[in-house]
Amino acid sequence: ADFLANTDLLKNKKVIITAGGTRENIDPVRFIGNRSSGKMGIAIANAAAHAGADVTLIVGQVSVELPQSPQIKIVHVTTTEDLFNALQKRFAAADILIMAAAVADYRPVEFIDHKIKKSANNYNFSLSLTETTDVLKEIASKKRADQLVVGFAAETDDLLQNANNKLTSKNADMIVANNVGGTQGAFGSDQNQVTVLQKNQDPIKWPRQSKMQIANQLIELISLKLKQGD
Ligand code: CTP
Ligand code: CA
Protein backbone atom coordinates (compact mmCIF):
# COMPACT_ATOMS: atom_id res chain seq x y z
CA ALA A 1 0.00 0.00 0.00
CA ASP A 2 1.15 3.55 -0.61
CA PHE A 3 -0.11 4.73 2.75
CA LEU A 4 0.36 3.32 6.19
CA ALA A 5 -2.63 1.51 7.62
CA ASN A 6 -1.88 2.77 11.11
CA THR A 7 -1.85 6.54 11.16
CA ASP A 8 -0.92 6.76 14.85
CA LEU A 9 2.52 5.15 14.58
CA LEU A 10 4.35 8.39 15.38
CA LYS A 11 1.65 10.19 17.31
CA ASN A 12 3.10 12.88 19.63
CA LYS A 13 6.58 12.36 18.18
CA LYS A 14 8.64 15.29 16.99
CA VAL A 15 10.50 14.37 13.82
CA ILE A 16 13.09 16.46 11.99
CA ILE A 17 13.79 15.51 8.40
CA THR A 18 16.42 17.12 6.19
CA ALA A 19 16.01 17.01 2.42
CA GLY A 20 17.51 18.36 -0.78
CA GLY A 21 21.01 19.55 -1.49
CA THR A 22 23.13 22.16 0.23
CA ARG A 23 24.92 24.83 -1.84
CA GLU A 24 28.29 26.39 -1.13
CA ASN A 25 28.80 29.87 -2.50
CA ILE A 26 31.86 30.70 -4.59
CA ASP A 27 31.07 34.30 -5.49
CA PRO A 28 27.82 36.31 -5.77
CA VAL A 29 26.72 34.39 -8.88
CA ARG A 30 28.18 30.90 -8.48
CA PHE A 31 27.94 27.97 -6.13
CA ILE A 32 28.90 24.34 -5.72
CA GLY A 33 25.79 22.17 -5.68
CA ASN A 34 24.58 18.65 -6.31
CA ARG A 35 21.81 16.77 -8.13
CA SER A 36 19.61 15.97 -5.13
CA SER A 37 15.91 16.35 -6.00
CA GLY A 38 14.71 16.24 -2.40
CA LYS A 39 12.13 13.57 -3.31
CA MET A 40 13.25 10.99 -0.74
CA GLY A 41 13.26 13.41 2.20
CA ILE A 42 9.94 14.95 1.18
CA ALA A 43 8.37 11.48 0.88
CA ILE A 44 9.60 10.70 4.40
CA ALA A 45 8.17 13.98 5.71
CA ASN A 46 4.78 13.11 4.18
CA ALA A 47 4.90 9.56 5.57
CA ALA A 48 5.82 10.83 9.05
CA ALA A 49 3.01 13.39 8.99
CA HIS A 50 0.60 10.69 7.87
CA ALA A 51 1.76 8.61 10.84
CA GLY A 52 0.75 11.43 13.16
CA ALA A 53 4.13 13.04 13.80
CA ASP A 54 4.86 16.71 14.31
CA VAL A 55 7.29 17.22 11.41
CA THR A 56 9.95 19.84 10.75
CA LEU A 57 11.32 19.58 7.23
CA ILE A 58 14.64 21.37 6.80
CA VAL A 59 15.21 21.82 3.09
CA GLY A 60 18.06 22.93 0.92
CA GLN A 61 17.76 23.02 -2.85
CA VAL A 62 14.97 20.80 -4.21
CA SER A 63 13.56 20.31 -7.71
CA VAL A 64 10.04 19.31 -6.68
CA GLU A 65 7.13 20.98 -4.87
CA LEU A 66 7.29 21.17 -1.11
CA PRO A 67 4.48 19.59 0.91
CA GLN A 68 1.74 21.81 2.26
CA SER A 69 0.45 20.31 5.46
CA PRO A 70 -0.36 21.82 8.84
CA GLN A 71 1.72 19.00 10.35
CA ILE A 72 4.86 19.88 8.37
CA LYS A 73 6.82 22.98 9.29
CA ILE A 74 9.29 23.98 6.58
CA VAL A 75 12.65 25.60 7.27
CA HIS A 76 14.81 26.72 4.33
CA VAL A 77 18.60 26.52 4.36
CA THR A 78 21.25 27.15 1.73
CA THR A 79 24.69 26.14 2.93
CA THR A 80 25.88 23.23 5.04
CA GLU A 81 26.61 25.66 7.85
CA ASP A 82 22.98 26.93 7.69
CA LEU A 83 21.81 23.34 7.97
CA PHE A 84 24.10 22.71 10.94
CA ASN A 85 22.83 25.85 12.71
CA ALA A 86 19.20 24.94 12.02
CA LEU A 87 19.73 21.51 13.58
CA GLN A 88 21.73 22.77 16.54
CA LYS A 89 18.73 24.93 17.45
CA ARG A 90 16.16 22.17 17.06
CA PHE A 91 17.68 18.74 17.69
CA ALA A 92 17.31 18.72 21.49
CA ALA A 93 13.51 19.03 21.15
CA ALA A 94 13.22 16.20 18.61
CA ASP A 95 12.57 12.50 19.14
CA ILE A 96 13.79 11.49 15.69
CA LEU A 97 16.20 12.98 13.14
CA ILE A 98 16.29 11.65 9.58
CA MET A 99 19.18 13.08 7.51
CA ALA A 100 18.11 12.59 3.91
CA ALA A 101 19.78 15.80 2.72
CA ALA A 102 22.63 15.62 0.22
CA VAL A 103 25.16 17.68 2.12
CA ALA A 104 28.15 19.23 0.35
CA ASP A 105 31.40 17.68 1.54
CA TYR A 106 33.56 20.67 0.59
CA ARG A 107 33.16 24.42 0.34
CA PRO A 108 35.42 27.14 -1.03
CA VAL A 109 38.07 28.22 1.49
CA GLU A 110 36.96 31.79 0.93
CA PHE A 111 33.94 33.50 -0.51
CA ILE A 112 34.92 36.06 -3.18
CA ASP A 113 32.60 39.05 -2.74
CA HIS A 114 32.66 40.10 -6.39
CA LYS A 115 32.07 38.13 -9.58
CA ILE A 116 35.30 36.31 -10.42
CA LYS A 117 36.46 37.45 -13.88
CA LYS A 118 38.13 35.20 -16.40
CA SER A 119 41.47 36.60 -17.36
CA ALA A 120 43.21 36.43 -20.73
CA ASN A 121 46.01 34.11 -19.65
CA ASN A 122 44.23 31.74 -17.25
CA TYR A 123 43.64 28.56 -19.21
CA ASN A 124 43.29 26.74 -15.94
CA PHE A 125 41.50 27.93 -12.88
CA SER A 126 41.52 26.22 -9.54
CA LEU A 127 39.48 26.75 -6.47
CA SER A 128 40.69 25.84 -2.98
CA LEU A 129 38.15 23.82 -1.07
CA THR A 130 37.93 22.84 2.56
CA GLU A 131 35.79 20.23 4.29
CA THR A 132 32.35 21.23 5.56
CA THR A 133 31.05 20.21 8.97
CA ASP A 134 29.85 16.61 9.06
CA VAL A 135 26.42 17.65 10.29
CA LEU A 136 25.11 14.17 11.01
CA LYS A 137 28.23 13.19 12.94
CA GLU A 138 28.29 16.38 15.02
CA ILE A 139 24.58 16.32 15.82
CA ALA A 140 24.43 12.57 16.54
CA SER A 141 27.40 12.86 18.91
CA LYS A 142 24.99 14.77 21.21
CA LYS A 143 22.22 12.20 20.87
CA ARG A 144 20.43 11.15 24.05
CA ALA A 145 19.34 7.55 24.67
CA ASP A 146 15.73 8.49 23.95
CA GLN A 147 16.53 10.00 20.54
CA LEU A 148 16.83 8.13 17.28
CA VAL A 149 19.05 9.28 14.42
CA VAL A 150 18.79 7.92 10.87
CA GLY A 151 21.37 8.71 8.22
CA PHE A 152 21.64 7.92 4.54
CA ALA A 153 24.63 6.59 2.66
CA ALA A 154 25.12 7.12 -1.04
CA GLU A 155 27.64 4.65 -2.46
CA THR A 156 28.80 3.44 -5.82
CA ASP A 157 31.13 0.71 -4.46
CA ASP A 158 31.27 -1.65 -1.48
CA LEU A 159 27.80 -0.54 -0.38
CA LEU A 160 27.48 -2.57 2.81
CA GLN A 161 31.00 -2.01 4.08
CA ASN A 162 30.97 1.73 3.44
CA ALA A 163 27.48 2.16 4.87
CA ASN A 164 28.41 0.13 7.94
CA ASN A 165 31.41 2.39 8.53
CA LYS A 166 29.06 5.39 8.41
CA LEU A 167 26.71 3.73 10.92
CA THR A 168 29.56 3.51 13.41
CA SER A 169 31.58 6.65 12.68
CA LYS A 170 28.51 8.91 12.68
CA ASN A 171 26.88 7.38 15.79
CA ALA A 172 23.65 6.76 13.85
CA ASP A 173 21.02 4.22 14.91
CA MET A 174 20.17 3.41 11.34
CA ILE A 175 21.68 3.98 7.91
CA VAL A 176 19.65 3.79 4.73
CA ALA A 177 22.17 2.71 2.12
CA ASN A 178 21.56 3.51 -1.46
CA ASN A 179 23.47 2.45 -4.51
CA VAL A 180 23.96 5.54 -6.64
CA GLY A 181 26.02 3.86 -9.32
CA GLY A 182 24.77 2.35 -12.57
CA THR A 183 21.94 3.52 -14.76
CA GLN A 184 19.08 2.97 -12.28
CA GLY A 185 20.38 5.68 -9.97
CA ALA A 186 18.49 7.35 -7.16
CA PHE A 187 19.05 11.00 -7.99
CA GLY A 188 15.91 12.55 -9.44
CA SER A 189 14.18 9.21 -9.80
CA ASP A 190 10.80 8.38 -8.25
CA GLN A 191 12.14 4.97 -7.31
CA ASN A 192 15.07 3.66 -5.34
CA GLN A 193 16.52 0.45 -3.97
CA VAL A 194 17.85 0.66 -0.43
CA THR A 195 19.31 -1.54 2.28
CA VAL A 196 18.77 -0.58 5.91
CA LEU A 197 21.62 -1.13 8.36
CA GLN A 198 21.32 -1.17 12.13
CA LYS A 199 23.82 -2.04 14.85
CA ASN A 200 23.98 -5.77 15.66
CA GLN A 201 21.30 -6.63 13.13
CA ASP A 202 21.33 -8.17 9.70
CA PRO A 203 20.98 -5.70 6.83
CA ILE A 204 17.42 -5.40 5.53
CA LYS A 205 17.36 -5.25 1.74
CA TRP A 206 14.16 -3.80 0.32
CA PRO A 207 13.19 -4.31 -3.32
CA ARG A 208 13.34 -1.48 -5.82
CA GLN A 209 10.18 0.50 -5.14
CA SER A 210 8.78 4.01 -5.10
CA LYS A 211 10.29 6.55 -2.73
CA MET A 212 6.86 6.84 -1.12
CA GLN A 213 6.84 3.12 -0.37
CA ILE A 214 10.38 3.31 1.01
CA ALA A 215 9.34 6.27 3.16
CA ASN A 216 6.36 4.37 4.59
CA GLN A 217 8.43 1.26 5.32
CA LEU A 218 11.09 3.38 6.96
CA ILE A 219 8.55 5.14 9.20
CA GLU A 220 7.12 1.77 10.19
CA LEU A 221 10.58 0.40 11.01
CA ILE A 222 11.49 3.51 13.01
CA SER A 223 8.29 3.36 15.04
CA LEU A 224 8.96 -0.29 15.84
CA LYS A 225 12.49 0.54 16.93
CA LEU A 226 11.21 3.34 19.19
CA LYS A 227 8.76 0.96 20.83
CA GLN A 228 11.53 -1.58 21.48
CA GLY A 229 13.50 1.26 22.99
CA ASP A 230 16.85 0.13 21.62
N1 CTP B 1 26.23 14.22 5.91
C2 CTP B 1 26.24 15.30 6.78
N3 CTP B 1 27.20 16.27 6.66
C4 CTP B 1 28.14 16.20 5.67
C5 CTP B 1 28.13 15.11 4.78
C6 CTP B 1 27.15 14.13 4.92
O7 CTP B 1 25.39 15.37 7.67
N8 CTP B 1 29.05 17.17 5.57
C9 CTP B 1 25.21 13.16 6.10
C10 CTP B 1 24.26 12.93 4.94
O11 CTP B 1 23.10 13.72 5.09
C12 CTP B 1 23.95 11.45 5.07
C13 CTP B 1 25.21 10.86 5.67
O14 CTP B 1 25.92 11.96 6.28
O15 CTP B 1 22.87 11.21 5.97
C16 CTP B 1 26.11 10.17 4.70
O17 CTP B 1 26.38 11.02 3.60
P18 CTP B 1 27.35 10.50 2.47
O19 CTP B 1 27.58 11.60 1.50
O20 CTP B 1 26.88 9.17 1.98
O21 CTP B 1 28.69 10.18 3.31
P22 CTP B 1 29.94 11.07 3.72
O23 CTP B 1 30.14 10.88 5.19
O24 CTP B 1 29.81 12.46 3.24
O25 CTP B 1 31.14 10.33 2.99
P26 CTP B 1 31.41 10.17 1.39
O27 CTP B 1 30.61 11.21 0.66
O28 CTP B 1 32.87 10.36 1.26
O29 CTP B 1 30.97 8.77 1.06
CA1 CA C 1 29.29 13.04 1.08
Stronger pLDDT, 227 or 65, i.e. the higher one: 65
Rounded-to-integer distance, Cα 43 and Cα 4, Å: 13
* Ligand 1 pocket, Cβ-based, cut-off 6 angstroms: 80, 99, 101, 103, 105, 132-136, 151-154, 166
Give distance in angstroms: CA of 44 to centre of ligand 1. Answer: 18
Q: Helix-strand-coil percent breakdown of the chain, rounded to 5?
A: 25, 25, 45
Q: Where are the beta strands (DSSP E) in 50-139?
A: 54-59, 72-76, 96-99, 106-108, 129-131
The mean pLDDT value for 187-209 works out to 92
Task: Point out the annotated binding site for CTP.
Answer: 105, 115, 152, 166, 170
ipTM over 0.90: yes
Phi and psi angles of residue 56, each rounded to the nearest 5 degrees, phi first? -115, 120
**pLDDT at residue 210, as a whole number:** 96
Q: Which ligand is nearest to the CA of 174?
A: 1
Rounded-to-integer distance, Cα 44 and Cα 147, Å: 18
Contact call for residues 45 and 126 (beta carbons, < 8 A): no
Residue 22 has pLDDT above 80, yes or no: yes
The yes-or-no answer on residue 34 being catalytic is yes
Q: Which of 110, 78, 75, 111 minimizes the C-alpha distance to 90?
A: 75
Which residue has its alpha carbon closest to ligand 1 atom 16?
Answer: 153
Q: CA 163 → CA 73, 120, 172, distances in Å?
A: 30, 46, 11
**pLDDT at residue 150, as a whole number:** 98
Burial class (CB in 10 A: 0-12, 13-18, 19+), 180: middle
Residue 171 has pLDDT above 80, yes or no: yes
Choose one of 131, 134, 150, 164 to mutate for the ligand 1 pocket test, by most ligand atoms within 8 angstroms of C-beta: 134
Give the predicted TM-score (pTM) of the model: 0.95
Residue 3 has pLDDT above 60, yes or no: no
Q: Of the residues 25, 34, 85, 171, which is catalytic?
A: 34
Rounded-to-integer distance, Cα 130 and Cα 110, Å: 9
Rounded-to-integer distance, Cα 143 and Cα 164, Å: 19
Residue type, 169: S
Choose one of 34, 81, 166 to mutate for the ligand 1 pocket test, by most ligand atoms within 8 angstroms of C-beta: 166
Rounded-to-integer distance, Cα 101 and Cα 118, Å: 33
